Amino acid sequence: MPARQPFTALCRAAARPTTTGRADLHIHTTHSDGTYTPAQIVELGRRSGLAAVALTDHDTLAGVPEAQAVAGSHLEIIAGVEITAEYRARELHLLGYFVRLDDGPLIAALAYLRGHRDKRFREMVKRLRQQGVALDADDLCEQAGPGVLGRRNLAVLLAQSGQVGSVREAFVRYLGDNGTVTLPKVRLPVEEAIALVRGAGGVAAWAHPSYDCNRESLAELSRWGLGAIEADYPAHRTGRGRELRALAAVFNLAVTGGSDCHGPDQPRRALGVCGVSADELRILRGRATR
């Protein structure tokens, strides 16, 4: 039989990408503020030799089914989301992994957040017009596509229209954290966000934890059901990953990691530059409540 011929088997083996067993668990697509489509993420994941990727778009799960359909059995696509949450009056991004795509309460909460994001986007366009930057909110929404709209989308559109020289300039002039047109996002209380992820069968992780990620905060968040912390991500300094893994061990948390990839314009966040091992992914999967 053909499948048993040595040469045929050799050709098939050579055609398969060599996987490292590693997984990149923090990736954005065109369904939020990324510039790669889910299909492009699948192709890049294959080329990078990854065993799994998690799509974690802001406040939406919309890109997951598309990626899963394209990937087939060649690359595991983990259903993920990055939820805009609040903890102690500060913004906290909560990653949800292995969630059910049809969970009603989670879908409703994400729709609520996206609705406020759209209003925020339109208000920032209005503020830009008041500063002499000629833009039309409806045209911009059409150009941006169906994804969740945020500051990065607006920065890209400003650069493409020639209103600024680059995305970085858009943030420096208008859209930084203290920018003249920036508005705060509506945020879910983190305890509520954790409960939604767990209710959808998933495991909740603290994304790119800041330096208030310490024993006190982790003790409280663990009581509320936090299951993991992101220990490998591009922005942390040398040694921070070891500190976060040590804290995870203290509170019996899994670790996660990822590139926070948004597209090709940020080489330090290229797909696969950060992630977790096969063993770490197995432990994370085991924390999923379903």
Give the span between the Cα atoms of 100 and 204, in whole angstroms: 13
- Model pLDDT for residues 122-179, shown as the tens digit of each residue: 899 889 989 888 777 676 666 656 667 788 888 888 888 888 999 889 999 999 988 8
Q: Which residues contact 175 (CB under 8 A, 6 or more apart)?
A: 124, 151, 154, 155, 181, 182
The two tokens of residue 13 are: 């083996």
pLDDT per position as a tens digit, 228-255:
999 999 977 778 889 999 999 999 999 9
Looking at residue 8, what is its pLDDT?
45
Beta-strand ranges (E) seen in 109-213 are: 188-189, 203-206
Class of the 20-111+188-286 domain?
A: alpha beta
What does pLDDT average to over the chain? 88
Instruction: List the chain domain ranges.
Output: 20-111+188-286, 115-175
Q: Of 29-33, 189-193, 198-202, where does mean pLDDT reach its minimum?
A: 29-33
Check: pTM over 0.75? Answer yes or no: yes
DSSP letter string, 221-243: HHHTT--EEEEE-TTSPTTHHHH
What secondary structure letter does DSSP report for 173?
A: I
Buried b (16+ CB within 10 A) or exposed e, 253-282: bbbbbbbbbbbeeeeebbbbbbbbbeebbe
The CA-based diameter of the chain, rounded to the nearest angstrom, is 73
pLDDT of res. 185: 87
Question: Residue 37: is its pLDDT beyond 70?
Answer: yes
In the chain the beta strands, taken as DSSP E runs, fall at: 23-27, 52-55, 76-87, 90-97, 188-189, 203-206, 228-232, 254-257
Radius of gyration of the chain (CA): 20
Q: Residue 63: is its pLDDT beyond 90?
A: yes
The amino acid that residue 243 corresponds to is E
